[in-house]
């Protein structure tokens, strides 16, 4: 994504948060160059080039993490991601918490395998084999810089995995990158009531071509929820959970 204006991180970033994001992004590139972060999803197209193209996306991930940290009240800081792939989004979200010296835990959900076709709408069937290349152990290695005691890897298909996984009781930030409408709504239904007031849901697959069913499903779901849906120019979308008014 390109704009005709200065980016927040231009020249290293003038604001504390954008400076921290700039450093985090550069650290990722260093990890990739030193073979400490394997982006298998970009194996055929150049990892560093793709990371550069996704800078705005990653900035929004980082910013949403900071927002959730600063606008929720609980001492329990739990992150959830549904659709983890290589751990790229998790890297930026948890780096924000680490930069702000906040203690956190993360709960990650992915099949790390191809989709079950019966969990997909007819319009999503073409992606059924798209993620057969994923490997949970590789994702663990990518994220081991955060420590092995703060991340829980829950392998399985949504929603079935919720019945057997180690799930958080509350969370402040939820990222959904499932590329399909049905599991997206299952994740929302499971985690929305656990999400703290002021917390954030960030969607990756909202306004991209081929994900019209997901966009409609999210809009229908959010219509009667206590939250504000914000369509972003990156194709992402945010829902910020409104604070419950005191009577």
For residue 209, the model assigns a pLDDT of 81
Tell me if 132 is assigned to some domain. yes
Question: Which residue from 43, 22, 29 is spatially nearest to 138, judged by alpha carbons?
Answer: 43
Average pLDDT over residues 104-113: 96
Tell me if 173 is assigned to some domain. yes
Average pLDDT over residues 197-206: 95
What is the CATH classification number for the domain harbouring 197?
3.40.50.150
Tell me if 30 is assigned to some domain. no
Q: How many domains does the chain have?
A: 1
For residue 132, the model assigns a pLDDT of 79
Q: Which tens digits make up the pLDDT trace of 46-93?
A: 899 999 999 999 999 999 999 999 999 988 899 999 999 999 999 999
Tell me if 14 is assigned to some domain. no
For residue 247, the model assigns a pLDDT of 36
Query: Which domain covers residue 196, as residue numbers?
Result: 56-241
Helix, strand, coil in percent for the chain, rounding step 5: 45, 15, 40
Tell me if 84 is assigned to some domain. yes
Average pLDDT over residues 184-196: 97
- In angstroms, what CA-CA distances link 69 with 58, 94, 98, 197, 220? 17, 11, 11, 11, 27
Q: Which tens digits make up the pLDDT trace of 144-178?
A: 999 989 999 999 999 999 999 999 999 999 999 99
Tell me if 42 is assigned to some domain. no
pLDDT of residue 190 exceeding 80: yes
Long-range interactions of 50-53: CB distance < 8 A, separation 24+: 51/25, 53/1
Average pLDDT across the chain, whole number:
90
Q: Note whether 221 and 176 are within 8 A (CB).
A: no
Average pLDDT over residues 213-217: 94
DSSP state of 243: P
For residue 83, the model assigns a pLDDT of 97
Tell me if 247 is assigned to some domain. no
Tell me if 45 is assigned to some domain. no
pLDDT bin (cut points 50, 70, 90) of residue 127 is low
Q: Which tens digits make up the pLDDT trace of 4-46?
A: 788 999 888 778 999 999 999 999 999 999 999 999 988 767 8
For residue 45, the model assigns a pLDDT of 75
Q: What residues does 200 pair with on adjacent strands?
A: 173, 240
pLDDT bin (cut points 50, 70, 90) of residue 222 is very high
Q: How far apart are CA 128 and CA 215, in angstroms?
A: 19
For residue 150, the model assigns a pLDDT of 97
For residue 120, the model assigns a pLDDT of 52
């Amino acid at each position: 994504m390109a704009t005709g204006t200065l980016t927040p991180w231009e020249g290293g970033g003038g604001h504390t948060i954008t400076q921290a994001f700039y450093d985090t992004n550069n650290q990722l590139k260093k990890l990739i160059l030193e073979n400490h972060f394997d982006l298998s999803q970009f194996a055929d197209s150049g990892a560093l080039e793709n990371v550069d193209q996704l800078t705005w996306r990653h900035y929004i991930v980082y910013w949403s993490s900071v927002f959730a940290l600063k606008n929720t009240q609980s001492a329990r800081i739990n992150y959830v991601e549904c659709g983890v792939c290589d751990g790229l989004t998790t890297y930026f979200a948890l780096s924000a918490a680490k930069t702000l010296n906040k203690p956190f835990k993360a709960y990650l959900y992915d099949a790390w395998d191809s989709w079950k076709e019966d969990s997909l709408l007819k319009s999503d069937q073409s992606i059924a084999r798209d993620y057969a290349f994923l490997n949970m152990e590789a994702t663990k290695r990518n994220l081991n810089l955060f420590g092995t005691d703060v991340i829980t890897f829950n392998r399985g298909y949504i929603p079935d995995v919720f019945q057997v996984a180690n799930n958080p009781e509350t969370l402040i930030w939820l990222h959904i990158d499932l590329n399909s409408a049905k599991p997206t709504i299952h994740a929302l239904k499971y985690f929305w009531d656990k999400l703290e007031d002021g917390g954030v849901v960030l969607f990756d697959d909202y306004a991209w071509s081929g994900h019209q069913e997901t966009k409609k499903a999210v809009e229908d779901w959010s219509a009667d929820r206590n939250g504000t849906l914000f369509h972003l120019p990156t194709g992402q979308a945010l829902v910020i959970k409104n604070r419950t008014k005191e009577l």
